[in-house]
Chains A and B, each alone.
Chain A
Amino acid sequence: MTTYTKKQVTDLVKGELDWDSLHQMLSMPKDKERYGQYMEVLQEQVSWDDRILLPLGPHLFIVETGDNTLVTKCGCGHNFGDYRQNWKLNALVYVRDNETKMSEVYPKLMAPHTDWQVYREYYCPTCGTMHDVEAPTPWYPVIHDFQPNLKAFFDWLDMPAPANA
């Protein structure tokens, strides 16, 4: 079994961990303490105190608030509501659905035709961080990426599950 320092996990989150350590981390069985360390590092990166339970993206987390409700939250503190609801429904959305908009992100003729595929970009209404981009057919409903079973997850981690999971 391998163990890592908090510094190494911080570097991992920042993408600055040296390759040899990263390679070892990838290849070896996962150490028990890692998830706790990982959450601790993420917690230090945000200015609020709600407990981070699971990251959904680099700046998007499922957190447990002071009154034990479980919500999706942006790194800036914006609350997207109950974690079982699709947070995207409460985000700002920008849809690239014509050639002009596509040409802003891809060279001419290298983007999909927007009759077939559009890009939907989801932003935080408070800080403007882009949290997700989906690339569906134009008529497709907003995708709910996944809804974690937090109780099962924390049991598997062998850590106490949040009260309302």
Chain B
Amino acid sequence: MPLLELNEVTIRFGGLIAVDSVDLVIEKGEILSLIGPNGAGKSTVFNLVTGIYPPTAGTITYKEQRLNGKKSYHINRLGIARTFQNIRLFPELPVLDNVKVGRHCRSKASVFGALLRTPAVKAEEKAIEQKALECLELMGLDHKKDEAAKNLPYGEQRRLEIARAMASDPELLLLDEPAAGMNSTEKKVLVEKITSIRDMGLTVFLVEHDMKFVMGISDRVAVLDYGRKIADGSPTEVQKNPDVIAAYLGKEVV
């Protein structure tokens, strides 16, 4: 029983088929990478899974529940959290509050709770802060908790996005190009963090450009080209696949 299953998922934007009947299976506890040239539709797959776009055809199933047509906030509550390719933090909010927002779906205080500030609400608020601090510590950002998110250097912003995603206690973590723009030291730290997240029992699904990064960290790699899946297997299998080589390096014209 896979954790997440995409079954012939297709999305069209007008005449463009961004994702073309893709089948994909993610097993619990693995790190799966989705790679492919620019514009292959990798981020679109993430947007489909997290409910930002509804698929034109096909089904997305998570723990035996259909995700098609579910809203993003609902999908988050089911246990899927994500980061974004072009970093989408809440820039004006302090680092700690960014992560607290990530805890939203696991807490319940309402408007009236906010106004009346009952003991239960106060206790919940304390628990939210505790969880947020844990997530910051996990990503090595606890010393920056009071700074505005916009003031963090790029690599730390990427890590903050992961901390925020972790605050909802997800079972499946989607990371959209987590290493983009990082230098090699930062990447090394990131690999450690992602591996430790997997060791905590989470399933990680990531989209990445950096081949070295992908091959080092992934249990399995799927390759997308022009919206179609052209390969799926262990990193070494995929590296040898002639279709993948053609997609990345171009084909020899005979």
Q: Do A and B bind each other?
A: no
List the interface of chain A (C-beta within 8 A of B): none
